[in-house]
Structure 1
Amino acid sequence: MARFLTIIAAIFIWSGSASAQTKVGLVLPLEGSVAVPAKRMEFGAMLAAGTLRDEMRVKLVSGGCDDEEIDNKIATLKKADVDIVVGPPCFSGALAIARGLNQDGGKSVPVIALSTRSSGMERARSYDGLPIFEISPPARSEAATVVQNILPRFNGEPFAIVDDGSVYGRGLADAVRLAADEAGLRAVANENFRPLQRSQVGLVRRLAAAGAKAVFIAAEPEDVLTITRDIFQYQPTWQVAGGEAARLVPFLEGANRLRDGLLAIRLSELKLLPDAQLGNGVDMERLDVEDSLILGYIAIQIASTQANKESGLLGNSFDTVIGPIRFSADGRASVQAFEPIVMRGGEWQPLP
């Protein structure tokens, strides 16, 4: 049903007169590891596009997170002569698109990345002068939430920070370490590990030797699960926590055998205005409204305005189904905050 509506909306909106319409490029990776939320973003975007068909047209481009194909995506967007781009939900792709569309000295084409939270956006805007924006929490808010809401749950026990060496893991670990130091909380050990191993008992032994009795894991959910399982088996009194990526742990094979207690953080749910309607004739009672769909919807609401052609996104307030949104001077529109959670009975629950 969702794909049917998406295809109909795309065909309908890309037809008709373009003289007064904003041409929007919608770039989402509809295959691969982030395909599920990307397709929900696409569905939300097309619902919005269906209600705004007099103001805009949408060019859907599948991809945007694969560096090997990004040049083809940029060429497609150039051929469509888009005025603004929404997506993709990965900063490297959004940055490449912003560079590719704004390097010839022609019209400025803003790019709105969705939920990437990259600290590289400041440099792209300040030093490269690129019109790149994000709808996401601030880049360092994940680390700040860990330090403010998770580390105090270690009850003063000596803790370690470990990461998988990836861009995400290392960046989060460094940010948590810095924020913790500023708060007077110093880790007794900082370790990295080889990801995607069947066992991390060796890591647990190193942490124990360093005197740790609690661990924060900056890694992908598969490694959070493995390390947590080994800690719960060999050091059952330790506290264990992960970042936002750990929210996917309950969906992994073997997670149902974990005992209660793993800590993590997640983004608070987006809330629609009481009278919000997502599309013409849409049965809101039957529609599965979740954050990815809402992100796609509000991004198209913002992108459809004529202000994007004239003065850009800064300095304007945009009415959306979740309320007014304004981009700050750093190019971000923060629409969600992080909240601490704990896994109980195989499910995440708010941390009291």
Structure 2
Amino acid sequence: MTRLTALLAIFACGLALASCKGEEDNNVIKVAIAGPQTGQYASLGTQMTTGGETAIADINASGGVLGKKLKLEIGDDACDPKQAVAVANQLTGDNVALVAGHFCSGSSIPASNVYAESNLVMISPASTNPALTDKRAGPNIYRVCGRDDKQGAVAGAYLAEHFGDKNIAIIDDKTAYGRGLADEVKKALNAKGVQEVFRESITAGEKDYSALVSKLKRAGVDALFIGGYHTEAGLILRQMRDQDMDTVLMGGDALVTQEYWSITGSAGEGTLMTFSPDPRQNPAAADVVKRLKAKGVEPEGYVLYTYAAVQAWKEAAEKAGSIDAPAVVKALNENTIHSVIGDFKFDEKGDPSLPPYAVYRWSNGSYEQISKDAEADAAN
């Protein structure tokens, strides 16, 4: 009799597959991580996936959200704006409740228009271009990281203080992130009365930057700021060292990946970068950090920021008693978020109230913070 009942159930489900699937879907809430899973920036997407998977596993282990388990979907945008829009359309069609993404600002900005139109909550762990929130596509668009106008001010002030009497060059990779950050560094540097020797753009994805390096050498550049990602920065640094240049390279938070050192090797010694205060040092992250390290996973860069993006949505959904976007948005706007990167509130733009940027130095294969009140110093 039991076997007959089972066969009848299977037969009934076969006749009404959609309704059976719907019943299954009602028991889970779909959330997504969107970022570069392939391509030259895939290591940054790996940081996001690690953080998101860990957060979802922890949330599910503690009962899920509103009594339902979370199910993860992953969208690969390869840091390409067109692919990001395609991913956004796919995720909205899949009825996910949250997109923790994207990584690259050039992907997040166009994708945010899709999410805004579809009323889907997007929380970027890593997109720092001010336009994402200054020109906010909708009230459902947020980020849990800092902004390049703040980051650029810190980098510019540091360069002015330590290299103000030397030759400084600024380049960018033409991306929304790279160009925007380089412009902010130039603005901050010039405001301190220091003029760069030249300001140029490069093409991301190239392998041979010898012409640029030769120009830097002729100009006697002592410090080079690059607005762009770790792959190009690493190649340019190695090619400078190949031409016997001891120029100090400085970049932004896109250098916060172990893959940078894998590219540079010992040539990366002394590289400077800006990044938020290391979230691995936050007491609120201690348990997650310990568990990840026990698995042989280093929670570098934006691992914990992605974890926090999922946490923020989960807290808001539980406060609202609903996963409907308008209710979640109201809760995100009104409540303090308790996360592994610390407690914060979102402002009217969707930016978080988090500690200021700091300056880090790469040495012996890891990065360490070397400045404390860098953002305060930048304002002086």
TM-score range, shorter chain: 0.7 to 0.9
**Superposed CA offset, 1:218-271 (max 9, x none):** 33333323333343454645433333333443111xx23527433333343214
| Residues 211 and 76 (structure 1), Cα distance of their counterparts in 2 relative to 1, 3 Å cut | closer
Shift of residue 42, structure 1, vs aligned partner = 2.4
Aligned partner of 2:347 among 316, 328, 335:
328
CA-based RMSD of the aligned residues comes to 3.6
Contact 2:115 2:122 in 1 (8 A): no
Asked whether 1:88 is paired with 2:94, we answer: no
Q: Structure 2 CA distance, aligned partners of 1:284 and 1:241?
A: 29
| Residues 240 and 70 (structure 1), Cα distance of their counterparts in 2 relative to 1, 3 Å cut | closer
Asked whether 1:25 is paired with 2:31, we answer: yes
Q: Structure 2 CA distance, aligned partners of 1:260 and 1:242?
A: 14
Q: Structure 2 length as normaliser, TM-score? A: 0.71
Aligned partner of 2:75 among 63, 84, 94:
63
Structure 2 counterpart SS, 1:43: helix
Aligned partner of 1:286 among 264, 282, 294:
294
| Residues 117 and 52 (structure 1), Cα distance of their counterparts in 2 relative to 1, 3 Å cut | farther
Which amino acid in the other structure matches residue 359 of structure 2? P
Say which structure is richer in helix.
2
Q: Structure 2 CA distance, aligned partners of 1:159 and 1:312?
A: 46
Structure 2 counterpart SS, 1:241: strand
Shift of residue 150, structure 1, vs aligned partner = 3.8
Asked whether 1:319 is paired with 2:338, we answer: yes
Asked whether 1:298 is paired with 2:308, we answer: yes
Which amino acid in the other structure matches residue 47 of structure 2? P
In structure 1, the residue matched to 2:128 is: 117
Q: Determine what percentage of the aligned residue pairs are the same residue.
A: 18
Residues 35-184 of structure 1: pairs in structure 2 closer than 5 A:
35-50=45-60, 51-55=62-66, 56-63=68-75, 65=77, 67-68=82-83, 70-71=85-86, 73-80=88-95, 82-103=96-117, 108-125=119-136, 128-154=137-163, 156-184=165-193
Q: Structure 2 CA distance, aligned partners of 1:224 and 1:146?
A: 16
**Superposed CA offset, 1:278-308 (max 9, x none):** 5xxx968835572544333332332122436
| Residues 37 and 151 (structure 1), Cα distance of their counterparts in 2 relative to 1, 3 Å cut | same
Q: Structure 1 length as normaliser, TM-score? A: 0.75
| Residues 184 and 63 (structure 1), Cα distance of their counterparts in 2 relative to 1, 3 Å cut | same
Shift of residue 205, structure 1, vs aligned partner = 3.5
Q: Which runs of 5+ in 1 are unaligned?
A: 1-13
User: Number of residues paired by the alignment?
Assistant: 326
Q: Structure 2 CA distance, aligned partners of 1:275 and 1:117?
A: 22
Structure 2 counterpart SS, 1:203: helix
| Residues 159 and 41 (structure 1), Cα distance of their counterparts in 2 relative to 1, 3 Å cut | same
Which amino acid in the other structure matches residue 175 of structure 1? E
Which amino acid in the other structure matches residue 302 of structure 1? A
Contact 2:34 2:99 in 1 (8 A): no
Which amino acid in the other structure matches residue 41 of structure 1? G
Q: Structure 2 CA distance, aligned partners of 1:249 and 1:284?
A: 21
Q: Structure 1 CA distance, aligned partners of 2:171 and 2:94?
A: 46
Structure 2 counterpart SS, 1:115: coil
| Residues 48 and 332 (structure 1), Cα distance of their counterparts in 2 relative to 1, 3 Å cut | farther
Q: Structure 1 CA distance, aligned partners of 2:58 and 2:70?
A: 11
| Residues 117 and 327 (structure 1), Cα distance of their counterparts in 2 relative to 1, 3 Å cut | same
Structure 1 counterpart SS, 2:334: coil
**More deviation, 291-300/36-45:** 291-300
| Residues 312 and 85 (structure 1), Cα distance of their counterparts in 2 relative to 1, 3 Å cut | farther
Q: Structure 2 CA distance, aligned partners of 1:69 and 1:155?
A: 39
Q: Structure 2 CA distance, aligned partners of 1:69 and 1:314?
A: 26
Shift of residue 330, structure 1, vs aligned partner = 1.8
